[in-house]
Structure 1
Amino acid sequence: MTEAAQDAASSSTPSEVGWVRRYHPAPGADRRLVCFPHAGGSASYYFPVSRAIGPYADVLAIQYPGRHDRHGEACLDSIGGLADALEGELPAWFDRPVTFFGHSMGALLAFEVARRLERRGIVLHGLCVSGRRAPSRPRSERVHLGGDEALLAHMARLSGTDSRVLGDPELMRLVMPAVRADYKAVETYAYTDGPPLSCPVLALTGDDDPQVTLEEAGAWAEHTGGGFALKVFPGGHFYLNTCADAVTAAVRGHLG
């Protein structure tokens, strides 16, 4: 999950277009993992996960509009809008048991897509949420309303973006619309009460994450009737960059 791996992934040709990227197809696998990126992230962030889990499960990574090969498309700046689009896109991939994995904004989006699918009678095999407090634990956040400098400073504090990228004005000019749209989507999200999910939920978090307390991570238990587990790793918001092997093992264990 390093920046170098992401750069390598960017030059790879995925076998799918639209919302889905499939870097290491495993058509013979009897299960599927769908990965949702964090705010400002792209499908290529999950290239290493796809490579590691690919022989065991067919791994799909979601590509949001407004970035990389979808740069010419308008960004979506609400979790509801993203979830509605994916609700129509993903059912075609449920020919085998499907588990969702999402980090940060991706966790919230994966949850909302799972809720929509379950209302249609499509139940996940499992949901793995990383680096995100439970939907029922809101915080007031307004980073998206600030200037570019404030937004970049927040990204730098979370240590999820290569400093070389943050220091390249031309590159940041290209990616800022997508970053701001994602931050707005997360910070304007309002949880609507509803039935808990039927699938088991695994929550992963860093023990020094400024965005998530252990109580907030544990509160994901309130959103499922299918069993819950919490795993804590050393590190901050992007703990999974330094704990990649352990995180991959935890996700594979959740796949069953």
Structure 2
Amino acid sequence: MIEYLKSIGGLDDIVSENKMSLDLIIPAVRNDLIAVRNFSLIKAYKVQVPIYGIQATEDYGVDVRDIQKWALLTDKKFKLVQFSGNHFYMLDQWKKLADYLQSLCKIQIE
């Protein structure tokens, strides 16, 4: 698990050598991976709200076609937006991501 997280840019050497940090991170990541593995579109119900997919352009572990499948889960709008970077792009682009999310909130209010 640690090597996998390092390979996708999500774990630096300082964190990977800190047992307390790993005790917090590893269970959360493991549960996320289990949830992704067990998710099934067959059992899913459509929601009545728009879905906005976000992907990193250099996240080679996530296929854009898998993200586009989220469009099947809504009767409303689906939009895919890509940010440059790897799986953890938000660490470097948190301001750009926050601005985008804030713009979505404004759209929904207006």
In the TM superposition, residue 193 of structure 1 has moved relative to its aligned partner by 2.7
Match of 1:227 in 2: 77
Aligned mate of 2:8, from 154, 158, 162:
158
Match of 2:35 in 1: 186
Match of 2:102 in 1: 252
Q: 1:165 to 1:211 in 2, by over 3 A?
A: same
Match of 2:57 in 1: 207
- Find the aligned partners of 1:158 and 1:213 in 2 and give their Cα distance: 14
- RMSD, matched Cα: 2.3
Give the unaligned 5+ runs of structure 1.
Answer: 1-150
Aligned mate of 1:216, from 63, 66, 88:
66
Moved runs in structure 1, 4+ residues, more than 6 A? none
Q: Give TM-score scaled by structure 1 length.
A: 0.37
Give the unaligned 5+ runs of structure 2.
Answer: none
Asked whether the 8 Å contact 1:207–1:232 carries over to 2, the reply is: yes
In the TM superposition, residue 231 of structure 1 has moved relative to its aligned partner by 0.7
Higher relative contact order (CA 8 A, sep 6+): 2
Select the structure that is richer in helix: 2
Q: 1:201 to 1:187 in 2, by over 3 A?
A: closer
The correspondence of residues 51-130 of structure 1 with structure 2, limited to 5 A, is none
- Find the aligned partners of 2:29 and 2:78 in 1 and give their Cα distance: 32
Q: Give TM-score scaled by structure 2 length.
A: 0.78
Q: How many residues align?
A: 105
Question: 1:231 is paired with a residue of what secondary structure?
Answer: strand
- Find the aligned partners of 1:172 and 1:156 in 2 and give their Cα distance: 14
